[in-house]
Structure 1
């Protein structure tokens, strides 16, 4: 499996650690940067590039997932989610790593480098990479709704049914 990885300065050390360990596990690692530590770097281009790499690989029939890292993982997840067709999940424990793949068929994992030690982060990534999508119809249906909204800005027959009302205290 090919794994695309990107970070900012806050996740650079973790990124190097993960690339080494995952390479030893047999994964083909593709580094989207940065190449060197720069406390003023900007994560969006790195993370978007990694997500685009995952999308392109998958469109070409390759088994591919991605990892984006930063201080919290929040901004990195947001950047990856801007790539059409990519679902990036912020992961902070084993359950969220497993469910990101099992229920959401996420192709990219976001982890906060300042939130986890190297070994803990590695375990979360390994769970994510190993977990298959369940393919259950309810999960497929929900993912299709996300894709429909991404394409059209609507979920036909669903958005109009959402009750919207002001909250009042009784």
Structure 2
């Protein structure tokens, strides 16, 4: 499996650790940067580049996933999610990593490099990479709705059914 990885300065050390460990485990690692520590770097371009590469690989039928890293993983997840067709999930434990793949068929996992030990973060990533999408109808339907909204700005017959109700305050 090919794994695209990108980070910002806060995840650089963790990114290098992942590349070493996952390469040794047989993954085909592709590093989208940065190449060196720069506390003023901007993560969006690195993470978007990695997410686009995952999408391109998958569009060509290749087995490919991605990892984006930062201090919290939040901004990096948001950047990867800007790539049409990519679902990036912030994982903070084994369950969230597995469910991202199992229920949401996420192709990119985001990890907060300042939130975990290197070993714990590696376990989370390995759980994500190893998990398969169930393909259950309910999950397929929900993913299709996300894609529909992403490309059309609507979920046919769904958005009109949702109403907002004021909540009484105590």
TM-score normalised by the shorter chain: which range applies?
A: over 0.9
State the match for 1:136 in structure 2.
Answer: 136
State the match for 2:34 in structure 1.
Answer: 34
State the match for 2:103 in structure 1.
Answer: 103
| Residues 4-15 of structure 1: pairs in structure 2 closer than 5 A | 4-15=4-15
TM normalised by structure 2 equals 0.99
Distance (whole Å) between structure 2 residues aligned to residue 57 and residue 118 of structure 1: 27
| Residues 60-139 of structure 1: pairs in structure 2 closer than 5 A | 60-139=60-139
State the match for 1:148 in structure 2.
Answer: 148
**Following TM superposition, by how much is the alpha carbon of 1:106 offset from its aligned partner in structure 2, in angstroms?**
0.2
State the match for 1:59 in structure 2.
Answer: 59
**Following TM superposition, by how much is the alpha carbon of 1:163 offset from its aligned partner in structure 2, in angstroms?**
1.7
Instruction: Count the aligned residue pairs.
Output: 170
Distance (whole Å) between structure 2 residues aligned to residue 110 and residue 155 of structure 1: 26
**Following TM superposition, by how much is the alpha carbon of 1:167 offset from its aligned partner in structure 2, in angstroms?**
2.0
CA deviation map 1:125-170 (0-9, x unaligned): 0000000000010000000000000010000110000021222237
Distance (whole Å) between structure 2 residues aligned to residue 149 and residue 77 of structure 1: 19
Gap runs ≥5 in structure 2: none
Distance (whole Å) between structure 2 residues aligned to residue 113 and residue 60 of structure 1: 31
Moved over 6 A (4+): none
Q: What is the CA RMSD across the aligned residues, in angstroms?
A: 0.7
Greater shift in the superposed pair: 157-166 or 72-81: 157-166
Gap runs ≥5 in structure 1: none
TM normalised by structure 1 equals 0.99
